[in-house]
Chains A and B, each alone.
Chain A
Amino acid sequence: MRAVGSSIQRSDAVDKVTGRAAYAGDIDLPGQAWLAIVYAPSPHAHITRIDTAAALAAAGVLAVLTAADVPVNEYGLILPDQPVLCGPGSTVQAETVRWEADHLALVVAETAEQAQAAAKLVQVEYTALPVITDPLAALAPDATVIHPHPFSAFPYGQRDNTSNLLLEYHLRRSDVDEGFAQADVIVESTYRTHAQEHAYLQPEAGLAFVREDGRIEVIAAGQWMHEDRAQIAHTLGLPAERIVVRYPAIGGAFGGREDLSVQIVLALAAWKTGRPVKIVWSREESIRGHHKRHPFVIHAKWGATKAGKIIAAQMDVTSDAGAYAYTSTKVLGNATLMCLGPYEIPNVHVDARTVYTNNCPSGAFRGFGAPQGHFAAEGQMNKLAEALGMDPVELRMRNVIHDGSILATRSAVPAGCTAEEVLAEAARRGGWKKNGIGYWVLGSETDAAPLRNTQYPISIARGVGIALCFKNVGFSLGFPEACHAWVELHGTSAIERALVGCVGAEVGQGAHSAFAQIAAEALGLDVAQVEVVAHDTDVTGSSGSASASRMTFMAGNAILGAAQQALAQWQDEERPARADFVFHPRPTSGYDRKTGESDPNITYGYCAQVADVEVDMATGHVKVKRLISVNDVGRAVNPAQVEGQIEGAVAQSVGWTLLENFIQKDGRTLTPHLSNYLIPGVADVVEEIVPVILEVPDPQGPLGIRGMAEMPFIPTAPAIAAAIHNALGVWYNELPLTPEKVWRGLSANPFPQE
């Protein structure tokens, strides 16, 4: 049996199913104390005084830490704009709270109950500041500036400290006005997408302690060990080598663990008290306390010729960064390009910006700007098709990118582009076919007028919709991508056992099983002979993050490189034979700040989906009957896990499209529980998900493998919106498509009655 291509049982399956796997909350250390966090009294305020005396005097309390106790009171994945603890005593920046979940103080006590009770005794005096919740209002010249102080580092040149603008990008290709002048049809819309909570099974939790060797070890789930370590070390003012980050079993991430949550405060508390310290966030703390998918407002104006060629696209893109940057600048970078969809467009004008507000910070979440961008791009394609009287598949076929197509960045699409292949396969499976003259049309069985059951007063309208996407694999725009791995071969005459060192995070996606399968394939071993070593930052160098659909792609290349070199050493009679390898993919470049000219991405993955929906026209309730998801994964390392990724992505994207509604008012979260933030149950997702795997090799991928984890999230919302339009004749440009919203759209656009 070949190791790659087999749906073998994943290595962590039995432990996770039996409960033996230890998540951070399951781990206890001898002599451990507990940590509780004192949160901001208001979403935007100047903190004038924090009185910890009563808390310090409370039963069981070991320490109460404030801003003055943080050696370097700033952190952030991309830029250090967030204080570890807010309040007087460190920097000017730290004197202000900007988010309801900003931390004011840490209480360390013998028990969790004592810590939580004492946290309530911390007295805070503050002056409230205006709370800014709308990113467009935040850009008004007289708006209160949320970050008026310079940051110690800002990787995008000079920042304007007098504005809430965090970053803007521009794409310019040819002349968009000239393009519109040549257009036969022009469609214009404003699209709005909403925040989304990751809702992973395991809320944030962790432990930290000072080891016998004097180093501080932090045990907490994350997505990128070495980056966690760097941020922790920065705040403590220690060299990175003084910190060890260990990943226990991780209960889902989806981008939500890309930024830090409990790691720094645990390390600080353990360091200051000398005791092992533990914290387990409640679900409410988790929902209030970690970032969300970015809300976007995208104004789109696209033009096409009668021949079905997109001739011009003008986009104005605004995302709500929330109180701190997190990965907002990176998400903006992706959205700036992906709001154009996987199409050749000769005239382009994109203005994109991300803006600070006092909302929950926005950050990484499966798709990373691509779902928001494609909701606009694919909406525009469907509307142009309607305006032209052309089938939406046919219109896409006439504009879709291929190898070497020039993007709006004036750079070529990397080899291995299969946008057309995934679209054609999805169309065929969804009921489209080519007619006598070679044009794509929806087949007769589904292209009849929407079926309506008019039995009073129940009336169901049916519709079908299609959407296509592309998404970068790996970090974009000049970020120095790399992944470390080593392979060690044991045995005498034959290789009996292989160890693979690679610390890419196993967040539940099956990465470690995939690493073992790729190594076994390269070494000609059975998977059972391969052991993955991945527990902490001492194992090897950085693997980069388990994000951007990159982990299997990057680690696979690194493991293949190490395996090849280890095999050579084995031939040279080295026992054990061991080789270290660092994989560097081809370099990319950042946007030119005026024109956006760049070679933005290493490579892309492609997915197309067809949604069949039923809409109850009386209540507005939308039911997705079938969702076909066609994904080119290059080569499926483990087909069952690939299908699992597709089904998981669809559950999450159907939730985002129809159900999930993260609501904040005046900077306060109104949906901090899973009883009012509604994620889909199994009966609410889709009656039938049809995962379709294509295997067209990516020339840069290890064994042809492509990244695939985010792609099946991206086309769902526009496919469902297209299906609802097909059913009702109404365009919906604002997510989520709740029953009430669908009903309001219907009331405003009454369906023609029989």
Chain B
Amino acid sequence: MKPAAFDYFAPKNIEEALALLGEHGYDAKPLAGGQSLVPTMNFRLAQPTVLVDLNGIDELFFIRESGDGLRIGAMTRQRAVERSPLVQRRAPLIHETMPHIAHPQIRNRGTFGGSLAHADPASELPALAVTLDARLRVQSSRGERWVAARDFYLDLFATDMQPDELLVEIAIPDLPARTGWAFDEVARRHGDYAMAGAAATVTLAEDGTIAAARLVYLSVGDFPTQAVQAEALLTGEQPTAALIRAAAETAAAQDIDPGSDIHASADYRRHLAKVLAGRVLARAVERAKMTADDRR
């Protein structure tokens, strides 16, 4: 199918884009990589009357270091993030996860900020943003504000942004010392949306206990789901296999409420959540130990 008719604008800078979004409000949609919006429009599930194409706004394309981490422009292509040595060094969890996102053709076009703003509960990047305590810079003609990723996701495809606001930049803080990370997901096919996925970071204290743990799921709820009870169970304890198993069971049983669809039942998703938690936590702990050893 083809989309319904719409007006098309191609602003050259952020200011012009914000003016257009301010003028058209709910009727407008920013067009980033188009990997979700365009199919949605073709199926007539979305019928914006105005498209504001961000692809000509050079100032939204960047990856740079800051004092405490990385700054990524919202329009940076996912493939550029995947191939960036900076990202590999300072945000290894993102580097490890990028190949799981769909297929290279989609990552060539899809953008880092587009995926975050689209807020698909099955997408990897929103879960990573929550895991890494990313902060998102949101602008409008009225001004700008920073939002923590964990406050950004409100519901299915719904974020904290107003219709006149635009996500322009993402700040990814460095991982603390002695921190390990891991990502894993289970999909029916190579490159498909996952039936369930999980990201984790684990920070070890000097005495080898877990100082902090973060475990965030995708595809098991309406938005990235942080397994807070499992995290609490891990904190302050020695990272044994038994502890990880207990945390995985807690996460699957108490932290999530997955749904059923034609690809997986809720029961199976819950089971996958347990398996994935076990796998990502175990790998994050291993890596945390390795970085602790490296620094000794």
Residues on A facing B (Cβ under 8 Å): 282, 456-458, 618-619, 621, 659, 661, 663, 670-671, 676, 678, 680-681, 683-684, 738-740, 743-744
Given known A-B contacts A619-B186, A670-B262, A684-B189, A743 and B282 have beta carbons under 8 A apart: no
- Do B264 and A681 have beta carbons less than 8 Å apart? no
Q: Which B residues, 247 to 290, have Cβ-Cβ distances below 8 Å to chain A? A: 248, 262-265, 268, 271-272, 275, 278-279, 282
- Do B279 and A678 have beta carbons less than 8 Å apart? no
How far does the alpha carbon of A676 sit from the alpha carbon of B193 in the complex, in Å?
11
B191, CB-defined interface residue at 8 Å = yes
How far does the alpha carbon of A456 sit from the alpha carbon of B241 in the complex, in Å?
8
- Do A621 and B186 have beta carbons less than 8 Å apart? yes
20 contacts between A and B (CB under 8 A): A282-B1, A456-B245, A456-B278, A457-B282, A619-B272, A619-B275, A659-B188, A661-B262, A671-B262, A676-B262, A678-B189, A678-B192, A681-B189, A681-B190, A681-B191, A738-B188, A739-B195, A739-B268, A740-B264, A743-B268
Given known A-B contacts A618-B275, A619-B275, A740 and B262 have beta carbons under 8 A apart: no
- Do B262 and A684 have beta carbons less than 8 Å apart? no
How far does the alpha carbon of A684 sit from the alpha carbon of B189 in the complex, in Å?
6
- Do A743 and B271 have beta carbons less than 8 Å apart? yes
Which of A676, A681, A740 gathers most chain B CB within 10 Å?
A740
Q: Which residues of the other chain, B, contact A670 by a CB distance below 8 angstroms?
A: 262
How far does the alpha carbon of A678 sit from the alpha carbon of B272 in the complex, in Å?
20
How far does the alpha carbon of A678 sit from the alpha carbon of B241 in the complex, in Å?
36
> Apart from A663-B262, A684-B190, what 11 extra A-B contacts exist at CB < 8 Å?
A456-B244, A456-B245, A457-B278, A619-B186, A621-B186, A683-B189, A683-B191, A739-B195, A740-B264, A740-B268, A744-B268
- Do A659 and B189 have beta carbons less than 8 Å apart? yes
Q: Whose C-beta in chain B lies nearest to the C-beta of A680?
A: B189
Q: Whose C-beta in chain A lies nearest to the C-beta of B268?
A: A740
Smallest CB-CB A-B distances: 9 pairs? A683-B190, A457-B278, A740-B268, A618-B275, A684-B189, A619-B186, A684-B190, A663-B262, A678-B188
For residue A439, give the distance in angstroms from its CB to the closest CB of chain B.
41
Q: Whose C-beta in chain A lies nearest to the C-beta of B2?
A: A113
- Do A456 and B282 have beta carbons less than 8 Å apart? yes
Q: Which residues of the other chain, A, contact B268 by a CB distance below 8 angstroms?
A: 739-740, 743-744
For residue A746, give the distance in angstroms from its CB to the closest CB of chain B.
10
How far does the alpha carbon of A661 sit from the alpha carbon of B189 in the complex, in Å?
13
Q: Which B residues, 159 to 208, have Cβ-Cβ distances below 8 Å to chain A? A: 186, 188-192, 195
Q: Which residues of the other chain, A, contact B264 by a CB distance below 8 angstroms?
A: 740
For residue B281, give the distance in angstroms from its CB to the closest CB of chain A.
10
Q: Which residues of the other chain, B, contact A457 by a CB distance below 8 angstroms?
A: 245, 248, 275, 278-279, 282
How far does the alpha carbon of A676 sit from the alpha carbon of B275 in the complex, in Å?
24
For residue B276, give the distance in angstroms from its CB to the closest CB of chain A.
9
For residue B251, give the distance in angstroms from its CB to the closest CB of chain A.
13
- Do B282 and A739 have beta carbons less than 8 Å apart? no
How far does the alpha carbon of A743 sit from the alpha carbon of B274 in the complex, in Å?
13
How far does the alpha carbon of A670 sit from the alpha carbon of B241 in the complex, in Å?
42
Set B188, B190, B244: member contacting A739, Cβ < 8 A: B188
Q: Which residues of the other chain, B, contact A678 by a CB distance below 8 angstroms?
A: 188-189, 192
Q: Whose C-beta in chain B lies nearest to the C-beta of A617?
A: B275
Q: Which residues of the other chain, B, contact A458 by a CB distance below 8 angstroms?
A: 279
How far does the alpha carbon of A738 sit from the alpha carbon of B261 in the complex, in Å?
14
For residue A281, give the distance in angstroms from its CB to the closest CB of chain B.
12
- Do A739 and B278 have beta carbons less than 8 Å apart? no
Q: Whose C-beta in chain A lies nearest to the C-beta of B193?
A: A675
Given known A-B contacts A282-B1, A456-B282, A457-B279, A740 and B265 have beta carbons under 8 A apart: yes
How far does the alpha carbon of A456 sit from the alpha carbon of B286 in the complex, in Å?
12
For residue A149, give the distance in angstroms from its CB to the closest CB of chain B.
36
Which of A619, A659, A676 gathers most chain B CB within 10 Å?
A619
Q: Which residues of the other chain, B, contact A663 by a CB distance below 8 angstroms?
A: 262
Q: Which residues of the other chain, B, contact A738 by a CB distance below 8 angstroms?
A: 188
Q: Which residues of the other chain, A, contact B272 by a CB distance below 8 angstroms?
A: 619
How far does the alpha carbon of A282 sit from the alpha carbon of B245 in the complex, in Å?
48
How far does the alpha carbon of A744 sit from the alpha carbon of B267 in the complex, in Å?
10
For residue B287, give the distance in angstroms from its CB to the closest CB of chain A.
15
Q: Which residues of the other chain, B, contact A456 by a CB distance below 8 angstroms?
A: 241, 244-245, 278, 282
Q: Whose C-beta in chain A lies nearest to the C-beta of B272?
A: A619
Interface string of B215-252 (1 = CB under 8 A from A): 00000000000000000000000000100110010000
Q: Whose C-beta in chain B lies nearest to the C-beta of A620?
A: B268
How far does the alpha carbon of A395 sit from the alpha carbon of B159 in the complex, in Å?
63
Q: Whose C-beta in chain B lies nearest to the C-beta of A456?
A: B241
Q: Which residues of the other chain, A, contact B195 by a CB distance below 8 angstroms?
A: 739
How far does the alpha carbon of A337 sit from the alpha carbon of B233 in the complex, in Å?
61
How far does the alpha carbon of A743 sit from the alpha carbon of B195 in the complex, in Å?
14
Q: Which residues of the other chain, A, contact B248 by a CB distance below 8 angstroms?
A: 457
Q: Whose C-beta in chain A lies nearest to the C-beta of B190?
A: A683
Which of A456, A676, A680 gathers most chain B CB within 10 Å?
A456
How far does the alpha carbon of A681 sit from the alpha carbon of B271 in the complex, in Å?
26
For residue A25, give the distance in angstroms from its CB to the closest CB of chain B.
15
How far does the alpha carbon of A659 sit from the alpha carbon of B187 in the complex, in Å?
11
Q: Whose C-beta in chain B lies nearest to the C-beta of A655?
A: B189
Q: Which residues of the other chain, B, contact A661 by a CB distance below 8 angstroms?
A: 262
Q: Which residues of the other chain, A, contact B271 by a CB distance below 8 angstroms?
A: 743
For residue A288, give the distance in angstroms from its CB to the closest CB of chain B.
15
Q: Which residues of the other chain, B, contact A683 by a CB distance below 8 angstroms?
A: 189-191
For residue B121, give the distance in angstroms from its CB to the closest CB of chain A.
16
How far does the alpha carbon of A203 sit from the alpha carbon of B275 in the complex, in Å?
40
For residue B180, give the distance in angstroms from its CB to the closest CB of chain A.
16
For residue A48, give the distance in angstroms from its CB to the closest CB of chain B.
31
Q: Which residues of the other chain, B, contact A618 by a CB distance below 8 angstroms?
A: 275
Q: Which residues of the other chain, A, contact B279 by a CB distance below 8 angstroms?
A: 457-458
For residue A612, give the distance in angstroms from its CB to the closest CB of chain B.
19
For residue B27, give the distance in angstroms from its CB to the closest CB of chain A.
23
For residue A734, give the distance in angstroms from its CB to the closest CB of chain B.
15
For residue A495, give the distance in angstroms from its CB to the closest CB of chain B.
50
Q: Which B residues, 1 to 50, have Cβ-Cβ distances below 8 Å to chain A? A: 1
How far does the alpha carbon of A676 sit from the alpha carbon of B282 in the complex, in Å?
33
Q: Whose C-beta in chain B lies nearest to the C-beta of A113?
A: B2
Q: Whose C-beta in chain A lies nearest to the C-beta of B248?
A: A457
Q: Which residues of the other chain, A, contact B191 by a CB distance below 8 angstroms?
A: 681, 683
How far does the alpha carbon of A680 sit from the alpha carbon of B188 in the complex, in Å?
10
Q: Which residues of the other chain, A, contact B263 by a CB distance below 8 angstroms?
A: 676
For residue B64, give the distance in angstroms from its CB to the closest CB of chain A.
34
For residue B262, give the distance in angstroms from its CB to the closest CB of chain A.
6
How far does the alpha carbon of A684 sit from the alpha carbon of B272 in the complex, in Å?
20
Q: Whose C-beta in chain A lies nearest to the C-beta of B1?
A: A282
Q: Which residues of the other chain, B, contact A743 by a CB distance below 8 angstroms?
A: 268, 271
How far does the alpha carbon of A678 sit from the alpha carbon of B195 in the complex, in Å?
13
For residue B123, give the distance in angstroms from its CB to the closest CB of chain A.
15
Q: Whose C-beta in chain B lies nearest to the C-beta of A621?
A: B186
For residue B294, give the distance in angstroms from its CB to the closest CB of chain A.
22
How far does the alpha carbon of A683 sit from the alpha carbon of B100 in the complex, in Å?
13
Q: Which residues of the other chain, B, contact A739 by a CB distance below 8 angstroms?
A: 186, 188, 195, 268
Q: Which residues of the other chain, B, contact A282 by a CB distance below 8 angstroms?
A: 1
For residue A623, give the distance in angstroms from its CB to the closest CB of chain B.
10
Q: Whose C-beta in chain A lies nearest to the C-beta of B244?
A: A456
Q: Which residues of the other chain, A, contact B241 by a CB distance below 8 angstroms?
A: 456
How far does the alpha carbon of A619 sit from the alpha carbon of B194 in the complex, in Å?
13
Q: Whose C-beta in chain B lies nearest to the C-beta of A683?
A: B190
For residue A737, give the distance in angstroms from its CB to the closest CB of chain B.
12
How far does the alpha carbon of A676 sit from the alpha carbon of B188 in the complex, in Å?
11
Q: Which residues of the other chain, B, contact A671 by a CB distance below 8 angstroms?
A: 262
How far does the alpha carbon of A663 sit from the alpha carbon of B265 in the complex, in Å?
14
Q: Which residues of the other chain, B, contact A621 by a CB distance below 8 angstroms?
A: 186
How far does the alpha carbon of A681 sit from the alpha carbon of B188 in the complex, in Å?
11
How far does the alpha carbon of A458 sit from the alpha carbon of B286 in the complex, in Å?
15
Q: Which B residues, 32 to 91, have Cβ-Cβ distances below 8 Å to chain A? A: none
